[in-house]
């Protein structure tokens, strides 16, 4: 079946603008995760959803970052008033339950100019 | 100090070589250990998933976990140019609801 789908694949925005990143998880996967990967770096955890609830938001770097998940499926990560340090690849992953390994999308490459 | 430290590389080997990739971790609560492979401009894909100490083999790949020394390894036998990628180790405990902690990755190049 289809894997995790993320859109857009690339996004260039001006400093100060808001952006929305979308994630479509694998059908039936109840757990959904957002990670951020800066150039040459590992994956930085942002937020975890179980169903539509977010029991762990500990990785969101500031209140400019928010995320929601609706219908236990699609998730949107929103970054308000973008800054140059927000430039990174934003990766979404899903798993069939929280104890299972993660399946990643190909990410959204965000560039803030 | 990061919870997961990974040998930074980069690593360059000739085709057919045995490759050893290594990580250490600090949190004794970690119970699950994963290796992901990431090609350029792609998302990480799961290679190996193991629980607790021991070895797991899958084709040319062997994952090894030593919880007593908090050391995890991935061995690649008969390496191929198609193995050229960044390899990420990751760990997770039982109680943190599936959140995985990743190393920074080791970039491997296998030369024909």
pLDDT tens per residue, chain B (112 residues)?
789 999 888 999 999 999 999 999 998 888 899 999 999 999 999 999 988 888 999 999 999 999 999 999 999 999 999 999 999 999 987 755 568 899 999 999 999 9
A104: chain B residues, CB-CB within 8 Å: 36, 43-45
Inter-residue contact A49 to A75 (CB < 8 Å): yes
DSSP state letter for A1? -
Give the model confidence (pLDDT) of A12-65 as tens digits: 999 999 999 999 999 999 999 999 999 877 899 999 999 999 988 999 999 999
List all residues of chain A from 22 to 81 with a beta carbon under 8 Å from chain B: 31, 33, 35, 40-43, 45, 48, 50, 55-56
A97 contacts on B by Cβ (under 8 Å): 98
Report residue A103 as tokens: 């399946």
Q: What is the DSSP letter of A83?
A: -
**pLDDT band, residue A1 (cuts 50/70/90):** low
- Beta-carbon count within 10 A of A67 CB: 21
B98 touches chain A (CB under 8 A): yes
Contacts of A40 in chain B (CB under 8 A): 104
Write out pLDDT tens, residues A55-78.
889 999 999 999 999 998 999 999
Partners of B47 on chain A (C-beta within 8 Å) are none
How far is A85 from A111, CA to CA, in rounded Å? 9
Structure tokens at B13: 């080997």
Find the residue in A nearest to B34 (Cα): A101
Nearest to A42 among B42, B43, B103 (CB): B103
Look-up: residue for tokens 């607790």? B52
User: Cα(A67)–Cα(A84) distance, rounded to whole angstroms?
Assistant: 20
Show the DSSP H helices in A1-113 as ranges: none
Distance, first Cα to last Cα, chain B = 37
Residue B112 touches chain A, beta carbons under 8 Å: no
Name which of B26, B50, B100 is nearest A42 in CA terms: B100
Question: In the structure encoding, which two tokens stand for residue B81, read together?
Answer: 């140019």
Judge: B44–A98 Cβ closer than 8 Å, yes or no. no
The pLDDT value given to residue A21: 98
* Partners of residue B106 on adjacent β-strands: B87
Q: Are B52 and B67 in contact (CB under 8 A)?
A: yes
Nearest-CA neighbor of B91 among B8, B2, B4, B1? B4
């Amino acid at each position: 079946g289809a894997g995790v789908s993320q859109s857009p694949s690339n996004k260039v925005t001006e400093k100060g603008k808001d952006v929305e990143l979308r994630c479509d998880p694998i059908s039936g996967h109840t757990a959904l995760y957002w990670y951020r990967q800066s150039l040459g770096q590992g994956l930085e955890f942002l937020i975890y959803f179980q169903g539509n609830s977010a029991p762990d938001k500990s990785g969101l770097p500031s209140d400019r970052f928010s995320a929601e998940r609706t219908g236990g499926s699609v998730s949107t990560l929103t970054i308000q008033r973008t800054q140059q340090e927000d430039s990174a690849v934003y990766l979404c992953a899903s798993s069939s339950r929280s104890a299972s390994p993660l399946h990643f999308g190909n990410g959204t490459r965000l560039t803030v100019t | 100090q990061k919870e997961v430290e990974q040998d930074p590389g980069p690593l360059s080997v000739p085709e057919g070589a045995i490759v050893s990739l290594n990580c250490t971790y600090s949190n004794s609560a970690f119970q699950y250990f994963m290796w992901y492979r990431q090609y350029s401009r792609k998302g990480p894909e799961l290679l190996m998933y193991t629980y607790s100490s021991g070895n797991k083999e899958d084709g040319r790949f062997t994952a090894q976990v030593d919880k007593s020394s908090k050391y995890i390894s991935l061995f690649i036998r008969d390496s191929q140019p198609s193995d050229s990628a960044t390899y990420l180790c990751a760990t997770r405990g039982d109680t943190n609801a599936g959140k995985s902690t990743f190393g920074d990755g080791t970039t491997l190049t296998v030369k024909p």
